Amino acid sequence: MPTPPGPPDPVRDPWRSAMRLALDEAERAVRGGDVPVGAVVLAPDGATVLARGHNEREAGGDPTAHAEVLAVRRAAARLGEWRLAGCTLVVTLEPCTMCAGAIQQARVDRVVYGAHDEKAGAAGSLWDVLRDRRLNHRPEVIGGVLAEECARPLREFFRER
């Protein structure tokens, strides 16, 4: 069920269509037996999708195969450059510490996420790695985009297990 319409939100509204693409990726994760998290990396124009990813830990037997890491790797390969300056990562769940570290190292300019992760979130919920002033690169962070739509598949996935 879509998020009910409310007053316009100039910070979160521009990212809804990209978040829906990330939600499509999250569905693919479930089909592979993984936690439903999906991500897309947008080019500096904010519209062109450079790469997509979904959790593939179970599918590939790789503990680092989180949606964000895979999307960042694929975007860097497509650009032929490890620096993703100007790019935006859109992900359905707040990044964990591993993913936040990869995002920071890749110099992603903006992180947009859906559901907050009170147990492992590293973009403000449990830790705030992405905005830690001691680091040399701090992306803009926008949380809560389609939060309920992003949280629902996670709740359903874990309820079934």
* Residue 160 among the catalytic residues: no
Cite the annotated binding site by residue number. Answer: 66, 96, 99
Q: Indicate which residue of 68, 118, 148, 160 is catalytic.
A: 68
Cite the annotated binding site for Zn(2+) by residue number. Answer: 66, 96, 99
Determine contact, residues 88/108, Cβ cutoff 8 Å.
yes
Determine contact, residues 151/119, Cβ cutoff 8 Å.
no
Active site members? 68
